[in-house]
Amino acid sequence: MTDSTKLIVSHAPFYRDACTVMKRSYLIMAAALVAIIPGLLIFGIPAVGVCALAVASAILWELTANTLMKQTPTIGDGNAAMIGLILAMLLPATAPWWMVITGTFVAVIMSKTVFGGIGGNPFCPPALSAAVLMISWPHLMNFNGMLVNYDMAWSMVDPLINAKFFGAETADLYTTTDLLMGHQAGGIGAVCGAGLIIGGIFLMVRGINRWEICLSFLSGIFTSALLFHMSNPDLYAGPIFHLLTGYTLVAAFFLATEDASSPVNTIPMLIYGFGGGMLTVLIRNKGAWVDGALFAVLLMNLANPILDMIRPKALGKV
Amino acid sequence: MRPENERKLAVILGLVLLAVAALCYTALKPEASEEPIRMLFRGSAGDVLFTHQVHTGDYDVDCASCHHNLDDGDEVYNCSECHEAEASQDDDMMSRTDAMHAQCIGCHEEMGAGPAECAACHATPK
């Protein structure tokens, strides 16, 4: 006897849990704040200024675009504010005001609005914007140079610069506890590993972040860093160091998981995440740039439409 | 929440944060310390991060040991004011790069402490 329910499908939408775009945006911002607040406490007033300006200018850019295009304002969905806040996580605390405003312009207008708004962007907006800033003004995204006036009880030399240019033994200057507590030079929301992990787990548990992307990204980092480290421990730092420094955790939990630019099927998600992690370490260890996380995310964004062609087989025949 | 209320919330958030940012970038901006903590020298051979405060504090290096003009009654602390990018033929002034190299390497060798090899200070790819 055949199963009569096997070929019965209901039409979309299949599932609704009353979660709106606005709710998602504000939940992501809440998770980001868990990592940003320790950064604000460490870097002080200048960091507050950068975060506030990034969120405010992102909202105002989107409102301006809506007004010029005679559209109903979309700022209510919180997406622009979220983009601004995630971009602020990547910036140094002493970023000049014009760089923050340029960054949010690139993120909101050039990375999202020109592609049709939310859901149409092929690249993760904050990642694309930070990469543009890094290429345009590398000295303003150099944490060694931007944080010279911070006198801390811990080393304020960018761990990735140390490990890349002065040998893997410099990684010993940074203990795992220090890196988790935010005792390192880096972006406002990128230094506190513990905050990022807590925020990331919250987003995965709430189903906002797909765990497949986050965990495969981190396993890509771990595996490739481990292989490099095993091949030459004097030249390449170990996997824990790579997991807790630079933009790794921000990329895993806030950049690679961006809805429109990441895959929707399970196997593509795993390939996308693992590939992103691997590329990050490859660029760090072999490339010209100190941190490869942004470029790795953007390259995987580029591969996303092709990866998503790996689909489950449809049931039945036509 | 109704869409118009969502928009109002975003506008209020944007304006409040803009005011906070304006304050942070102007009135509340902390003053930089008079004595540099660290200095980043950018060069074609790679950046050099100089730990100024560590040298004057921990290593107890006297100001005039590097800022040699202070002994002549000069009050200029910025090396670049005299040592320009190119060496001056008129007054035998060393170029900035040569002056820095002579100062750092010379002192490190004299004291038998600190690096003297290029890659130990310059951030150059391995």
Query: Which has more confidence, B33 or A181?
Result: A181
- B3 contacts in chain A (CB < 8 Å): 76
- Mean pLDDT on A21-39: 95
Residues of B with CB under 8 A from a CB of A: 1, 3-7, 9-11, 13-15, 17-18, 20-21, 23-25, 28-30, 32-33, 36-40, 42, 46-47, 49, 53, 119-120, 122-126
Mean pLDDT score across all residues of chain A: 93
**pLDDT of the residue at A7:** 67
Asked if the model's pLDDT at residue B91 lies above 80, the reply is no
In chain B, the residue whose alpha carbon lies closest to the alpha carbon of A287 is: B125
Give the pLDDT band of residue A6 (cuts 50, 70, 90).
Answer: low
The residue written with tokens 């580029």 in the block is A302
Please state, in angstroms and rounded to a whole number, the distance separating the CA atoms of residues B89 and B51.
31
- B5 contacts in chain A (CB < 8 Å): 76
Query: Which has more confidence, B125 or B57?
Result: B57
In chain A, the residue whose alpha carbon lies closest to the alpha carbon of B5 is: A76
**pLDDT of the residue at A1:** 47
Q: What is the pLDDT of residues A161-183, one digit of tens each?
A: 999 999 899 999 999 999 999 99
Q: What is the DSSP string of B64-118?
A: HHH-GGGGGT-----GGGTS-SS-BTTTTBPPHHHHHHHHHHHHHHHHT-S--SH
Distances (CA, A) of A124 to A54, A82, A107, A255: 16, 12, 8, 6
- Mean pLDDT on B25-37: 90
Minimum distance, in Å, between the CA of residue B72 and any CA atom of chain A: 29
In chain A, the residue whose alpha carbon lies closest to the alpha carbon of B117 is: A166
Query: Which has more confidence, A10 or B24?
Result: B24
Query: Which has more confidence, A137 or A312?
Result: A137
Q: What is the pLDDT of residues A243-296, one digit of tens each?
A: 999 999 999 999 999 999 999 999 999 999 999 999 999 999 999 999 999 999
Q: Sketch the domain layout of chain A as residue ranges.
A: 21-148+158-307
CATH class of A21-148+158-307: mainly alpha
**pLDDT of the residue at B114:** 85
**pLDDT of the residue at B70:** 84
**pLDDT of the residue at B126:** 58
**pLDDT of the residue at B3:** 83
Please state, in angstroms and rounded to a whole number, the distance separating the CA atoms of residues B55 and A42.
24
**pLDDT of the residue at B43:** 84
| SS3 (DSSP) at A277 | helix
Query: Which has more confidence, A97 or B82?
Result: A97
Cβ–Cβ gap A164/B125 under 8 Å: yes
Q: What is the pLDDT of residues B67-81, one digit of tens each?
A: 988 888 887 788 888
Portion of chain B with pLDDT greater than 70, in percent: 97
Q: What is the 3-state secondary structure (H, E, C) of A120-185?
A: CCCCCHHHHHHHHHHHHCHHHHCHHHHCCCCCCCCCCCCHHHHHHHHCHHHHHHCCHHHHHHCCCC
Give the pLDDT band of residue A2 (cuts 50, 70, 90).
Answer: low
Of B6, B25, B47, the CB nearest to A144: B47
Asked if the model's pLDDT at residue B50 lies above 90, the reply is yes
Of B5, B29, B32, the CB nearest to A45: B29
Q: How many CB atoms lie within 10 A of CB A5?
A: 6
Cβ–Cβ gap B53/A76 under 8 Å: no
Asked if the model's pLDDT at residue A208 lies above 90, the reply is yes
Cβ–Cβ gap A55/B13 under 8 Å: yes
Cβ–Cβ gap A139/B13 under 8 Å: no
Portion of chain A with pLDDT greater than 70, in percent: 94
Chains A, B: CB contacts within 8 A come to: 113
Cβ–Cβ gap B40/A148 under 8 Å: yes
The residue written with tokens 């130990």 in the block is B120
Q: What is the pLDDT of residues A72-116, one digit of tens each?
A: 999 999 999 999 999 999 999 999 999 999 999 999 999 999 999
pTM confidence score: 0.92
Give the pLDDT band of residue B34 (cuts 50, 70, 90).
Answer: confident
Q: What is the pLDDT of residues B98-115, one digit of tens each?
A: 999 999 999 999 888 888
In chain B, the residue whose alpha carbon lies closest to the alpha carbon of A60 is: B14
- Mean pLDDT on A24-52: 97
- B14 contacts in chain A (CB < 8 Å): 55-56, 59-60, 63, 75, 81
Of A25, A80, A75, A84, nearest in space to A51 by CA: A84
Q: What is the 3-state secondary structure (H, E, C) of A188-250?
A: CCCCCHHHHHHHHHHHHHCCCCCHHHHHHHHHHHHHHHHHHHHHCCCCCCCHHHHHHCCCHHH
The residue written with tokens 């990642």 in the block is A127
Q: List the 88-147 stretch of A: residues with Cβ below 8 A of B.
A: 97, 139, 142, 144-145
